[in-house]
Each structure stands twice: as structure tokens, then as C-alpha cells.
Structure 1
Amino acid sequence: MTYTGLETYVQQAAFHKTLTRLYGAEGAEKAHSRCMEVMEEFYKTFDRPAQALFSAPGRTEIGGNHTDHQKGCVLAASVDLDILAAVAPTQSGIIRVLSQGYPMIEVDLRELDPKEEEINTSAALIRGVASCMSAMGCDLQERGLDVYMTSTVPKGSGLSSSAAYEVLMGTMLNELFWEGRCTAVELAQIGQYAENVFFGKPCGLMDQMASSVGGVVSIDFENTAHPAVEQLDVDLHAYGYALCILDSGAGHEDLTNEYSAITNELRAVCRVFDKEVLREVPEEAFLAELPKVRAAAGDRAVNRAFHVYAENRRALAEKEALRQGDFDKFLALVRESGRSSAMYLQNVIPTGSTAAQELMVTIALCERILEGRGAVRVHGGGFGGTAQAFVPLDMLDTFKKATEAALGQDCCHVVMIRPAGGVRLG
């Protein structure tokens, strides 16, 4: 397929097969309509046809809550909510991006240093990805992109719209200007660099890895330069379950101090042993020096360390349970993870908050509705944001109606695990 054949290609059976693989049989038609829409809007915006379509998915964290920044183990998955883009290369030296509902962004590729005024903006992510890829050897001289994009990844949903944005940008530059030389892992690392250095958020690598690699992925971050990544073939519907993300109604925009406190307290634990992250401190040494650690770091830090040690083991056990097809064992581990996050990591209720405990109420409500079936846990960073629930298919309609009646319309997002990460669709 050539660039000029895009309009013809999107009507062919091969394209429909691609959409069915990514979005499922029920979602393929809607995805096709979105593709046609972004191509039409691209033409309206830039007065010429789009030459390619790209997609990058949101992600869900399944296991390994707050372990990635400690060089730990996680289990994550890409989902069928994504950012979809129509694009055409240019020779302008500028990347122009119009996201549906937002103003046009323009990033000059001759200026690839971080800009203080761009911190916490999409422009920072674009510039950061381009800067990193240029430093790696991707020739962006006299190159440019015109992009129109639309997203079904809700902001603040805990499904990581920022990682999807970074992976999408890296995938487009990689495919159009670098002959696909970057691996999925490298594209994830590029996205993390952009978010850390240009956007100003000290995130771990899990979000970008799940979005870039795709499917259910087990990741061991002991070697952050070369993390061990294993894809698993998991069909939730075959086990009789659906995956739901529940919006608690509490945003996580003002929780930076809570997230920073976790890493700072774990760092205080590690300093007792002259280490930087908990993966470098053997659990036996931590237990042997527990009185000293408590005195130096405080008891909440100690409890958070207990969580990370156990959560690393759980993430590996969850992987093994799925590999063996033991879904009941997997669900039991998910429930254990949720209890550990609430009791030891303590990232469900904001510090000192009594009147506002939206996330804990969401979890309590889901457990009450499920009545011992399935599993529910905090999703992602915690303190606000979302919960994750594995819901039996025979309860799904009841579960969705009951949660939305109590928490608000459209608070329950039913998502499908997507088998691929950032991709070129056509």
C-alpha cells in the first residue's frame, strides 16, 4: 500500500481485519467510523489528504502497584481505548498537531531543548520524543508532520493518556522517518524520557511499556535499560470475565505530593542500606534491620516497603497463574494486591482525609455488588482516580447499572485487552 492509496485501503477487507483484531468484532465498525472521521477532519484542517493512520492504546495496570519505580515487577495490558491519528509527512521542520477539542500545537524541530513554559503540556511531550529520537540518530532535519488526532482514553481515568500520546508520537516518527528501527521497548523508553525531562513528571516506565508493547505484558524492571518483557496470551471472555475501570469521581491532578511521598519514604528506607531503590535491598536485610529502618524512615515507610516486596512476588505469581490458565488463583492474587495497597501502601485514601474517601467508597461498593465473585482493587497511582474490577460476564449488566446509579453515569468503563501496542493502521 502506498501513501496515496490510503482512502482505498481503508475500504478493503484487510483493513477491517486489522480493526477487528485491535478493537474486537463489536468495536470494529465504530473504529472504522473513527478512522473515516479523522481522515475527513485532517483534510478540513490541512487542506490535503492524510497519508497514514496510526493508533496507540491506553493501558491498565493489572499487578505491581507502585513497584516499577523501585525496579520491581509488574503485570500490565494495553486496552481498546486509544488515540487515533491521521498524519502526513512534510518538509516544514515543524510538527503540527490538532487534537479534537483543543487548539493547534506547533513544535519547531530545530529547537529540541526543554522549554520551561511547556512543562505539563502536550508540546513538551512532542518536543521530548523528537529530541530523544534525534539524539539516537533519527534524522529530523527538514522533516515535519501534520497530525489530526482524536482520543477515547479519558483523561484522569488512570488509563494513561499521556503514555499513549508519547507512544503514538514515537511510533509515527519511527515509521515515517526512521524505517521502524526503534523497538517497542525503545519507544517506551523514549516516551518516559519525554515525560521525565520535558513534561516534568518523574514517572516510571510501566505505562509506556504497556502502551508500546501491547497485549498483557509481564515486565521486570531490575535492569531498567533492558527490562525483561514477556507477552501473555490472555482472553478474559474465555474465562467468563470482563475488565472494568471505575471512575471514583476524585481526580488525581493535585496528588503529586502523595505520589512523591511514596518514593521519598521508600528512598529513606533504602538510605539505611546505602541503596537507591528497594530492589537493591534484600528483603532479609530489611527484616534484620527493621528497628533501625523504623527509626530512620518511620512506620508508614516500613509498611510501604512490606507492600513492595510482597507485590513483586504477587506480580510474578499472577503471571504464572495466567500462564497456567488458573484464573481463580489469579483473581485471589488480585484481591491480595488490593488489600495490600489499602493496608500497607496506603494509597487509597489521601493522607488525613476523612470526609472525602471516594476511591475507598468505590472499592467497597464494587465488593458489595460482586459478593465474593471476581476481584476489585485500586488502579494505578491511587488516592483518587480509578478502581479496577474483574466482573463475571453474567453480572456485567447488573454491575454496570448499580455502580453508575451510585457513582454517576458513564463511571464504569468496560475495556477489552488489545493485542497490540502502538501501530500503523494504514
Structure 2
Amino acid sequence: MHSVAAYRDYLEQGGFDHVFSHIHSGSRIKESRQRMSGLLQCMSEQFDGQEICFASAPGRTELGGNHTDHNHGHVLAAAVNLDCLAAFSKSKDNMVTIISEGYDPIRVDISDTHPRVEEKESSAAIVRGVADGFRKLGLNVGGFNACVHSIIPAGAGLSSSAAFEVLIGRIFSYLYNGRKISPLEVARIAKRAENIHFGKPCGFMDQMACSFEGILSIDFNNPEQPGVTSVQPGFDHEAGKGFYGTGYRLCVINTGGSHADLTPDYAAIPAEMSQAAKLCGQDQAKGLTLDRILENIDLIRTKAGDRAVLRLFHFINEDRRALQQAEALTTGDMSRFLRLVAESSRSSSDLLQNCFSPNTPKTQPIPLALTLTEQILGTRGVGRVHGGGFAGTIQTYVHNSDFEQYCQAMEKVFGINSLIELSIRQPGNEYLTPEQHITKSGE
């Protein structure tokens, strides 16, 4: 832990610039300095005189495996350079107090960590839920004060809620558990908090990607103990701008649209896959083959419908594709990777059918964004639906030569700042502290 003054001096010397370039990208260093400066000011004003530390937790992007995790399949996911950044210090009791610009203060007494109905779908529920998860595992928790700033857009499919959950877990780990809580345990605690205390039946991919960082190939064959493989892309990182120097920019486009009435659409996907899989004699789609589906296709069509058959076909191929995408990145084969992205896009649109809601057929921002991407980029880029679908974001890979034109065109249709360029964040900078030569006043 260090004083606010020590942090401020080191920040003004440019001491954190190398860390900022790794976790936020070189183009955001000025913004990163301003964020840290603002949080230091917040800590001085709100919690004067305390020793502090900084923690960061990233958002995530799904690179492959659209709607495969809930049926025990493979996913390719990555942490990104947009994060929740927090300055924090111990409090003298069990009270957690969080100040975040633009939001009401969060105050949670974690002496009692049982779920509360009145806190459902609130940040307070997440704090209480993470504390409860630590306690259930016999780990230590206690109060803390924090000032938080997030640059992960809410509702843009980049997992702002999972990042906040992981951030709270990292703070408890640092202050009360010697920084020894593993990324898997933090992710598991975060998911539990969202499921039980927050009240959202989410999967596990978001928390895993935010907690482990880097690019991950995740096998959900055992959902409680997922297999995690770190993917190291075989590209020349210094070759130029964009996605690992490949000449392509990784972006998401926030197409807008409300998720409020889409819960039945989301729920129908795993429900139909599971129902169809049971008609083939097993509980989930994982492990099904084309032959097995064809043997039971009449029964599936009668009991679950044609769409359930199509969604099983999507799962089988998308599960395989997520592994092939990881292999293409590892071998540095960008052409193959982009072909697989294009296949995933067509499969989500034609088979999974999660690009627009059948209940609002005149509202189709995702098909519109995908079609515009194809019309503008031709063979020099590709787009796919990102995450749950039906509304929200698409993911695109845009060649450097087309980036400015593409950005202008998409923002004309979907609004200023609707295009968000991403870079992949690597693990190792969960906590930001001044270098060792600065005198510590106790750590």
C-alpha cells in the first residue's frame, strides 16, 4: 500500500505509462493518466489520509463459440483494453463504500452477506454476493473504501457487470487474502454472486475471460471445472496497427436496441437445444453427431420443432469452429481465422437465428450492421453477431486501409462512438503500484 502522494508523484513522472500501454493500449495513455488522477482526487476527498492500492479488471469479447457454453461446448474469449479501475483502501469495520462517477454511492455492510430481495439487480447485491462467496469458501473478507471508474460501456456486450464482480474479488484478495485467490476461484465467486445475489442466470464465460485475461480457449464439458487453455497468437506483434499486427482492427459496433423484452428469446436457445438433445438420448448438445440427430430428426421436429434441429446443427459446427479458430490464431493463419469468423456469422444468422427477434420483425439492427459491413468491406473484413444477439453488438475485423471509411459509415447509421476499437489485454497487471524504489509506508 502507498500514500496518495506517492501515487500522484509517480503518475506525474510518467511511471505508470508502460502499464497503461499494456492494459489500455498506447493510444489511451493520456486518458489513463486522467482516470488515475481523478481517482486519486476522489480518494483524497472522500477517504482522507489512507494508504491505497489500485486494481483493474477488464471487460471481455467473445471471439468464437456463439451460444455454445450453456450446452457444455467450447468458447474462444478474450479480455480487452476497456476496464474497471479502482483505488481502494481498508476500512476499519465491515462496511464497503464505493464511489463511482455518475452513480449513487454504494454502501454495504458485509457483516451479513445473505441475499436480499430489495438488492436484486443492483451493484450492492454484487458486492454482498462476492463477499458471501469468499466466506462460503472459508476465505477472509472485510470492509474497504474505493473510488471506481469504468470505461466499459454498459449494454455493449463487453461484460461490464462481470468486470465489476472480478474487480471486487481482486480487492478482497489483495486486502484480506495475500493476493492468493486464483483466477478460477475469483471467476467462480463472481458468477455465483451474479446468479444468486444479483438474480441473473448468466453462464460462466464472462467471468472466466475477465478473471484469467489474455485469449482463452475454454472447454465447458465440466461446467464447474472448465478446461482453460491460453492461446498465444503466432503473429508478428510489431508488424503494424490492429489485431496483433495482422493489419486488421478488432471492433465491436453497438447497434442499439433494448434487451428489456428479449429474455424469452435468449432463454429459448438453451432450452430448445437441451430439449432436442434429450430427444436424442442425452442431457445437452455436447457430444451429439450429425448421424445421431438424423436418426431422431422426426421426433425432434414433432416435439421441439424445426428451429431446434437447426440450433443443434449450429452447436455441432460452432463447437468445432471455436477450436479451429484457436488453432488458426496459434499458427498465425489470419486468412483461415477470418474464414471461420465468416462461417460463424452465417451459422448464427441462418441456424441459431439470434440476429433479430421474431416478435419485432421490423427492428433488425444486427442484420443491418452485418449487411453494411459486407457491403463496405467486401473481402477486406468480416463481421459476426457478438454475444447473446437479438440486439446489441456485432464484432468486426476491419482492414487498416478501410478503417476510417468504415468507422464514419457505421457511426453515421448507429451514432457517434457506436464503433469501439478493441485490443487484447494480457494477464499480469491486475494491481498497479509504484516501483520498488518509492518508499513504502506499509504493505
With the length of structure 2 as denominator, give the TM-score of the two structures.
Answer: 0.92
Asked if structure 1 preserves the Cα contact closer than 8 Å seen for 2:55 and 2:87, the reply is yes
Match of 1:177 in 2: 176
Asked if structure 2 preserves the Cα contact closer than 8 Å seen for 1:247 and 1:386, the reply is yes
Match of 1:305 in 2: 312
Give the SS at the match of 2:107: strand
Match of 2:82 in 1: 81
Aligned-partner Cα distance in 2 for 1:418–1:98? 25
Match of 1:398 in 2: 405
Asked if structure 2 preserves the Cα contact closer than 8 Å seen for 1:341 and 1:348, the reply is yes
Aligned-partner Cα distance in 2 for 1:305–1:422? 40
Asked if structure 2 preserves the Cα contact closer than 8 Å seen for 1:245 and 1:388, the reply is yes
Aligned-partner Cα distance in 1 for 2:222–2:323? 16
Give 2:277's aligned amino acid: C
Match of 2:167 in 1: 168
Aligned-partner Cα distance in 2 for 1:168–1:31? 17
- Which of residues 277, 293, 296 in structure 2 aligns to 1:289? 296
Query: Displacement, 1:274?
Result: 5.1
Aligned-partner Cα distance in 2 for 1:48–1:367? 56
Match of 2:100 in 1: 99
**Deviates most, 10-19 or 46-55:** 10-19
Give the SS at the match of 1:347: coil
Asked if structure 2 preserves the Cα contact closer than 8 Å seen for 1:265 and 1:301, the reply is yes
> Which is helix-richer, 1 or 2?
1
Match of 1:214 in 2: 213
Give 1:132's aligned amino acid: G
Query: Displacement, 1:194?
Result: 0.8
Aligned-partner Cα distance in 1 for 2:73–2:108? 35
Match of 2:225 in 1: 226
Aligned-partner Cα distance in 1 for 2:218–2:229? 7
5+ residue gaps, structure 1? none
Give the SS at the match of 2:343: helix
Aligned-partner Cα distance in 1 for 2:323–2:367? 26
Query: Displacement, 1:119?
Result: 1.2
Match of 2:361 in 1: 354
Is 1:425 the counterpart of 2:432 in the alignment? yes
Asked if structure 1 preserves the Cα contact closer than 8 Å seen for 2:89 and 2:145, the reply is yes
CA change 1:421–1:195 in 2 (3 A) is: farther
RMSD: 1.8
Query: Displacement, 1:66?
Result: 0.6
Give the SS at the match of 2:16: helix
Query: Displacement, 1:9?
Result: 4.1
Give 2:31's aligned amino acid: K
Match of 1:47 in 2: 48
**Deviates most, 322-331 or 363-372:** 363-372
Aligned-partner Cα distance in 1 for 2:428–2:392? 23
Instruction: Provide Cα deviations, 1:150-189, integer angstroms capped at 9, x if missing partner.
Output: 1110011001101101111111111111112221122111
Give percent identity, aligned residues only. Answer: 38
Asked if structure 2 preserves the Cα contact closer than 8 Å seen for 1:39 and 1:50, the reply is no
Aligned-partner Cα distance in 1 for 2:76–2:360? 30
Give the SS at the match of 1:355: coil
Aligned-partner Cα distance in 2 for 1:351–1:420? 40
Instruction: Provide Cα deviations, 1:36-67, integer angstroms capped at 9, x if missing partner.
Output: 11111222223344601111111111100011
Match of 1:335 in 2: 342
Asked if structure 2 preserves the Cα contact closer than 8 Å seen for 1:90 and 1:146, the reply is yes
Aligned-partner Cα distance in 1 for 2:2–2:149? 24
Query: Displacement, 1:277?
Result: 2.1
In the alignment of these two chains, the number of paired residues is: 424
Is 1:254 the counterpart of 2:261 in the alignment? yes
Asked if structure 2 preserves the Cα contact closer than 8 Å seen for 1:93 and 1:108, the reply is yes
- Which of residues 369, 394, 398 in structure 2 aligns to 1:387? 394
Give the SS at the match of 1:383: coil
Aligned-partner Cα distance in 1 for 2:365–2:251? 17
Match of 1:197 in 2: 196
With the length of structure 1 as denominator, give the TM-score of the two structures.
Answer: 0.95
Give the SS at the match of 1:278: coil
Aligned-partner Cα distance in 2 for 1:104–1:23? 26
Asked if structure 2 preserves the Cα contact closer than 8 Å seen for 1:250 and 1:359, the reply is no
Match of 1:119 in 2: 120
Asked if structure 2 preserves the Cα contact closer than 8 Å seen for 1:78 and 1:419, the reply is yes
Aligned-partner Cα distance in 1 for 2:274–2:16? 49
Aligned-partner Cα distance in 1 for 2:86–2:211? 16
Give 1:42's aligned amino acid: M
Give 2:70's aligned amino acid: H
Aligned-partner Cα distance in 1 for 2:244–2:406? 16
Aligned-partner Cα distance in 2 for 1:211–1:199? 18
Aligned-partner Cα distance in 2 for 1:422–1:268? 43
Query: Displacement, 1:317?
Result: 0.4
CA change 1:188–1:30 in 2 (3 A) is: same
Give the SS at the match of 1:88: strand
Give the SS at the match of 2:104: coil
Aligned-partner Cα distance in 2 for 1:69–1:421? 29
Instruction: Provide Cα deviations, 1:304-352, integer angstroms capped at 9, x if missing partner.
Output: 1111111000000000011111000000000100110011110001123
